[in-house]
Structure 1
Amino acid sequence: MKPRRRLFRKRQKTLNRSMAGNATLFFFMAFCAVFMVLPLVMVINNAFKPLDELFRYPPTIFVRNPSMDNFHDLLIIMSNSWVPLARYIVNTLIITGGGTLGHVIIASLAAYPLAKHQFPGKKFLFSMVVLSIMFSWQVTQIPNYLIISKLHINNTYWALILPACAYGLGLYLMKQFMEQIPDSLIESARLDGATEYKIFWRIIMPNVKPAWLTLAVLQFQTVWGNTGNVFLRDEELKPLQYALQQIVNGGPARQGAGAVVTLIIAAVPITFFVICQSSIIETMTTSGMKD
């Protein structure tokens, strides 16, 4: 027993870092955190910069003479437009909310039989899902357009929501998480008379909450930046990202208003991530299960 205790103590000592090592790691992580947060700080400061500071070279991170003129210019630009800014925001919320919610539900429903049921062609279907992750959106853009045209849903919200629901990475992520749930838990629920519907919504989905929260954050950020130029023709259906492009393309005089719209676009997904982050951390620490 003594040699084992000595070996354990030696291993325990080797795992413990010194104060200098902890300090070095802390300063390295602090440097990385500051480096990663600088773009966000610059976006916030740009919204309050006057035009002379926006066009200054080399650019500055912090604003020297904060002003609300950019916000005022944005209100004037959007008030002169026949489509108000609120309409763009509503369109973005509809497209983003529908695409995110639809993707989480469809990916979860499709991942459950792949993870917990046996049927012919299961491995082949999952291989196709993994293969689809390798293709970029430029490769699938033409097939998506042809499918949307055949369904006659061009120039509608569904033209952006349906492609967002079909994303292989979400199905792969949910399937991998569902495989970690013990089969004995599902069998116990079946013996108690639970249907597959109840098992999915009351057992599977609560236990894979970290997966679908993470998936919702990733998909929300992806759909939020969609301009909809390929499928949407009517101006009153365009999302907020399209309005940003039009404002920026208006010339140097609109760069201040463009900075404000950039702040609006960045604030929503960041807020959504901050709200979901606490839930992801909490569920990650409490959802470990073993047979």
Structure 2
Amino acid sequence: MVFKTKKRRIIKKKLNRSLPVTIMLFMLLAIFGVFMAIPLVYAINNAFKPLDELFIFPPRFFVRNPTLDNFFDLVAVMGDSWVPLSRYFANTIIITLLGTVGHIILASMAAYPLAKYKFPGSKMIFSIVVLSLMFSPHVTAIPNYMVMSLLGWIDTHASLIIPALAFPLGLFIMKQFMEQLPDSMLEAAKIDGASEYRIFWTIVMPNVRPAWLTLLILQFPVLWGTNGGDFVYSEELKTLNYALEQITLGGIARAGVGAAVALILMIVPITLFIVSQSKVIQTMSTSGMKD
């Protein structure tokens, strides 16, 4: 009887939203979606515009005569550089992958004892983490540089990877998700003889998948778009973003190349976001757990 009553309440709650209201909500979301997609569509069109269309006034939103000359010019410009384009790509991929994966693992391992164990100083440590969210990266830039200099990591990839591992928002998100895991499930695993490491990797991490996928979405674009100009000085260690920024400084003649550069820098994070977002939503809808 209780189940039937709850079921009737749910049905009545669903019927409270009328069809006109649903249509209005759908139209409102569609308008916001189109509004947010306009910059992306405009950037894609600019990348395939010839120079005469890039400088036409009033500017055209859609390309009339699409061309690949901007990308060919980009390859030609990078071909004249003494550091090949593949080296910039490799540097960016190394920094992005190591920084992102390392941050997810480190934040998860640090958040697990804070979420599931009570030890002296745990609240103070978490309070420090929360307070550190108040500081902008520009505020901590000088202390980061001093630390990297004392460690001898200036002009190395470590100066970009190591600070990314200590992103405080990651620890905060992981701790909040791990606190939702039922303690009874972890205690049952301990009774069955599972070690702490096995519990962490086979039980905790799969169940907090929305959290580390969210960190992937947040951290990957930051590292992908870094130029490392403050920490890396050697040209062979520079990132793709730095190299492409130098190309766009060539003036009006390289406006088409600059549009191609903007598309290249945008396409990878956006593709990752689209793929990861669907998985995050799917996992969140099926991962509710209670004691």
Q: Same fold (TM over 0.5)?
A: yes
Runs of 5+ unmatched residues, structure 1: none
The SS at the match of 2:227 is coil
Runs of 5+ unmatched residues, structure 2: none
Structure 1 residue 70 corresponds to structure 2 residue 70? yes
Structure 1 residue 80 corresponds to structure 2 residue 98? no
In structure 1, C-alpha distance between the alignment counterparts of 2:17 and 2:244, rounded to whole Å: 49
In structure 2, C-alpha distance between the alignment counterparts of 1:188 and 1:278, rounded to whole Å: 32
By how many angstroms is 1:56 displaced? Answer: 2.7
In structure 1, C-alpha distance between the alignment counterparts of 2:208 and 2:281, rounded to whole Å: 13
By how many angstroms is 1:287 displaced? Answer: 1.0
Could you tell me which residue of structure 1 aligns to residue 178 of structure 2? Answer: 178
In structure 1, C-alpha distance between the alignment counterparts of 2:282 and 2:154, rounded to whole Å: 41
By how many angstroms is 1:277 displaced? Answer: 2.3
Could you tell me which residue of structure 2 aligns to residue 245 of structure 1? Answer: 245
Could you tell me which residue of structure 2 aligns to residue 283 of structure 1? Answer: 283
Q: How does 1:136-285 map to 2 (within 5 A)?
A: 136-285=136-285
Range that drifts further, 261-270 or 174-183:
261-270
Could you tell me which residue of structure 1 aligns to residue 122 of structure 2? Answer: 122
In structure 1, C-alpha distance between the alignment counterparts of 2:25 and 2:241, rounded to whole Å: 39
Residues 1:74 and 1:279: Cα distance change in structure 2 (over 3 Å): same
Q: Letter of the aligned partner of 1:215 in structure 2?
A: L
Structure 1 residue 25 corresponds to structure 2 residue 33? no
In structure 2, C-alpha distance between the alignment counterparts of 1:165 and 1:59, rounded to whole Å: 43
In structure 2, C-alpha distance between the alignment counterparts of 1:10 and 1:163, rounded to whole Å: 48
Structure 1 residue 43 corresponds to structure 2 residue 43? yes
In structure 1, C-alpha distance between the alignment counterparts of 2:141 and 2:284, rounded to whole Å: 35
The SS at the match of 2:140 is helix
Q: Letter of the aligned partner of 1:57 in structure 2?
A: F
By how many angstroms is 1:236 displaced? Answer: 1.0
Structure 1 residue 133 corresponds to structure 2 residue 137? no
How many residues are matched? Answer: 287
The SS at the match of 1:290 is coil
By how many angstroms is 1:278 displaced? Answer: 2.7
The SS at the match of 2:250 is coil
The SS at the match of 1:137 is coil
In structure 2, C-alpha distance between the alignment counterparts of 1:289 and 1:10, rounded to whole Å: 21
The SS at the match of 1:138 is coil
Q: Letter of the aligned partner of 2:175 in structure 1?
A: K
Q: Letter of the aligned partner of 2:237 in structure 1?
A: L
Residues 1:284 and 1:261: Cα distance change in structure 2 (over 3 Å): same
Could you list the per-position Cα deviations for residues 54-80 of structure 1 after superposition, in whole angstroms to 9, with x for gaps in the alignment?
Answer: 223343221111111111111110111
Residues 1:10 and 1:227: Cα distance change in structure 2 (over 3 Å): closer
By how many angstroms is 1:116 displaced? Answer: 0.4
Could you tell me which residue of structure 2 aligns to residue 56 of structure 1? Answer: 56
In structure 2, C-alpha distance between the alignment counterparts of 1:13 and 1:202, rounded to whole Å: 38
In structure 2, C-alpha distance between the alignment counterparts of 1:59 and 1:173, rounded to whole Å: 43
By how many angstroms is 1:237 displaced? Answer: 0.8
By how many angstroms is 1:217 displaced? Answer: 1.2
Range that drifts further, 198-207 or 279-288:
279-288
In structure 1, C-alpha distance between the alignment counterparts of 2:10 and 2:196, rounded to whole Å: 51
Q: Letter of the aligned partner of 2:110 in structure 1?
A: A
